[in-house]
Amino acid sequence: MRVDLSRSLRSLVDGAIDRARRLQRAQQLSAAAEAWDEAAEHAQSYAEAATTDSERQRRVNSAEEFSNLATRLRETVQLRETAKQRQPSARESNRRTASGSGSQHATEQVDFVDEYRESAARLIHRSDVTFDEIAGLESTKRSIQDAFALSLAQAPSGVELLPVRNILFYGPAGCGKTLLSAATSNGLDATFYSVKVGDLMSKYFGESSKLIQALYDEARSNAPAVVFLDEVDALFGDRDSSDSGAERKVLVSFLTELDGLNDKRSDRHVMTIAATNTPWLLDPATLSRFERKVYIPLPDTAARQQILERQLAGRGYQLELPFSELAARTDGMSGRELERLAKVLIETMIADTNPDLPDVAARGREEIARWQVRVRPISRQDVETALVHARPETTPEIIQRFDRWAAR
């Protein structure tokens, strides 16, 4: 009989985290680093007990984060020891004496809070994506640009503008929801924070609510900003009595930020863009926080042709048949599936024109570096072979469900 160790392993992880936090607050940084290492070891064992690949990866990410925390604490200890070797000036000595233990306590608190701000800052993603690079969705792009621009523009005298703070993107997977959010931040020179809610809930265990507050504090300090929340159904799904206290606390933290209760100044605009592939799973209380709900559909024929041209011709590859024909034969595919198809076409062609490439690879890195890959136009046969295995993942039944939800 197989014994389920998940619960006991999770308890070991949580216990090590609590111990590390207490030691860190007490400024016992070396001991805290050891506790974080212990948490990382337990989290790794917890990952091995996972029942799905995605859950296993999230737990591995947690272990890596705990290990990184231990490393940063040891670096801090080393820096402090180096600083102690330097003789402080008389002015510095007097200031430290006058500040007393209250100042030391404040410093500890700042260190503790800054840790969350540091984690939030790591969620910043610099994006070069522009709206022009996103195929189709013209009316959607204009709507997003109008919403953000209106929030930053000056109102006429005596008129109060009502900015759009929260937008929900919904639609089939792989249709550009993340790209649209990144382009929004880039086009308006806004700071872009990208958060996978599912990872946030698993990776940070009981610290999620504190990180959310730090995330929005950081976003307000770098406003204008866009906070992109992917996989929001992982948190905002219909709630019941089985939800844990920690989950409810995280939910309340998010809803508070979506309501804008912490925004005291209108010039610190933060737009939240949430994305989901299953909007019907979101509870009504959450849905009411989003002023705009934008459907991101599968690409139409013109958009599919644009995507395929960028993925193939834009990378220097020729296609023997017209792109319009290939676009017509890929009806129902998402943008991500079209990118995958283009990659398969390239790989198929290169494998055919370079049959000796595996032998070259076996001769080592220097030999590979001297090798020049041979290419030819992608043939109709390449396309036929690839399309045999390329089937749209979004079924007509799923599209109908989106239509019904939008018309509710």
pLDDT, tens digit (0-9, with 9 covering 90-100), for 227-241 = 888 888 877 765 554
Distance between CA 94 and CA 88 in Å, rounded? 10
* The predicted structure's pLDDT at residue 110: 39
* The predicted structure's pLDDT at residue 308: 94
Domain extent listing, the chain: 6-83, 131-295, 301-406
The token pair at 70 is 């231990």
The token pair at 405 is 């939800």
* The predicted structure's pLDDT at residue 52: 75
For residue 35, the SS3 value is helix
Task: Report the CATH architecture of 131-295.
Answer: 3-Layer(aba) Sandwich (3.40)
Distance between CA 116 and CA 213 in Å, rounded? 9
Distance between CA 115 and CA 72 in Å, rounded? 10
Contact by Cβ (8 Å): 337, 390:
yes
Residues in contact with 388: Cβ distance below 8 Å, sequence separation at least 6, in sequence order: none
The token pair at 162 is 């009502």
What does residue 50 show for φ and ψ, rounded to 5 degrees?
-65, 150
Residues in contact with 180: Cβ distance below 8 Å, sequence separation at least 6, in sequence order: 134, 137, 140, 141, 144, 169, 273, 296
Q: Which residues of the chain have pLDDT under 70?
A: 1-7, 25, 54-55, 58, 80, 82-127, 152, 187-189, 198-207, 237-248, 261-268
Strands 225-230 and 191-196, by their bridges, are: parallel
Specify the CATH class of 301-406 in words: mainly alpha
Topology agreement, domain 131-295 and domain 301-406: no
Q: Smallest Cα–Cα separation from 288: which of 259, 250, 262, 260?
A: 259
